[in-house]
């Protein structure tokens, strides 16, 4: 870790902070071996997003979509939280408020023991009815091949992920907007900053006086807007940040 550099001003800002807001994207999970979607070789380069991740796609071929999401869920369960995930879980204990708003649906933050995790795009590990929206009553579906049926209306059970053309969870979005206005530190980790509305929170946080930090090996379309940019993977730099914070 001696090859990685963390600006002294960044550590100083973190040490004096009370409230921290974190946004994580696919890059945070890529370090655990999970594929991304928007990279040149990502999932969307191999399939039509509207076929696999939209209400219309599910209506046309529910079996295909169901099997794909069950496969993705198993991949997520086979993956392990990486040093980025575990470092964030440690950092959570060092601040009065430390909230993670993730665009990922894999549950790795929770498995790393982070407590304040809010899923902007839903989860691979929960389900509800496509027709009546009732949550799935069983802990876990038992059929990987075809969707199970809702016990309330007989409709098809679907994964509780946010698909194209659907709105983000209103309660999570509202909480994120409040967090962006109130945080002392805003951290963007492993996200391309191209997806609305997650890509607006850093600007909001900066407008309200927060120090903003981007952690991503590659520059993004918003890199120039951040107070600090760390060109590393989260699993490389976050352990060093935690180490320096704990040395205070």
SS3 of 74, please?
Answer: helix
Q: Element (H or E) spanning 101, and its range?
A: strand 97-102
Q: Distance between CA 105 and CA 25 in Å, rounded?
A: 10
Q: Any idea which residues carry the catalytic annotation?
A: 121
Tokens of 38: 């928007």
Query: What string of DSSP letters covers 152-168?
Result: TT--BEEEEEPPTTPPP
In Å, what is the CA distance from 247 to each residue of 11, 15, 57, 125, 215? 11, 11, 52, 37, 21
Q: Distance between CA 136 and CA 127 in Å, rounded?
A: 5
Q: Could you tell me how far CA 168 lies from the centroid of its own chain?
A: 13
3-state helix, strand, coil in the chain (%, to 5): 40, 20, 40
Q: Distance between CA 166 and CA 26 in Å, rounded?
A: 19
In Å, what is the CA distance from 138 to each residue of 58, 72, 128, 147? 21, 20, 10, 13
Instruction: Let me know: does 119 contact 126? Beta carbons within 8 Å.
Output: no
């Amino acid at each position: 870790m001696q090859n990685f550099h963390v600006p002294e001003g960044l550590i100083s800002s973190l040490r004096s902070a009370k409230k921290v807001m974190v946004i994580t994207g696919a890059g945070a999970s890529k370090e655990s071996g999970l594929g991304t979607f928007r990279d040149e070789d990502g999932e969307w380069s191999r399939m039509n997003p509207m076929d696999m991740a939209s209400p219309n796609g599910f209506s046309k071929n529910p079996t295909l979509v169901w099997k794909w999401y069950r496969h993705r869920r198993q991949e997520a369960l086979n993956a392990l939280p990486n040093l980025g995930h575990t470092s964030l879980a440690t950092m959570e204990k060092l601040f009065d408020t430390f909230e993670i708003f993730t665009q990922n649906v894999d549950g790795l933050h929770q498995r790393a023991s982070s407590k304040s995790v809010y899923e902007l795009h839903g989860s691979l590990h929960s389900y509800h009815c496509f027709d009546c929206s009732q949550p799935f009553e069983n802990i876990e579906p038992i059929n990987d091949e075809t969707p199970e049926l809702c016990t309330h209306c007989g409709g098809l059970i679907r994964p509780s992920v946010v698909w194209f053309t659907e709105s983000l969870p209103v309660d999570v979005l509202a909480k994120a907007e409040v967090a962006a206005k109130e945080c002392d530190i805003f951290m963007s980790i492993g996200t391309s900053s191209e997806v609305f509305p997650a890509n607006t929170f850093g600007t909001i946080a900066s407008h309200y006086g927060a120090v903003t930090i981007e952690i991503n090996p590659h520059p993004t379309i918003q890199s120039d807007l951040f107070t600090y940019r760390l060109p590393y993977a989260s699993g490389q730099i976050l352990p060093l940040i935690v180490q320096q914070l704990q040395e205070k």
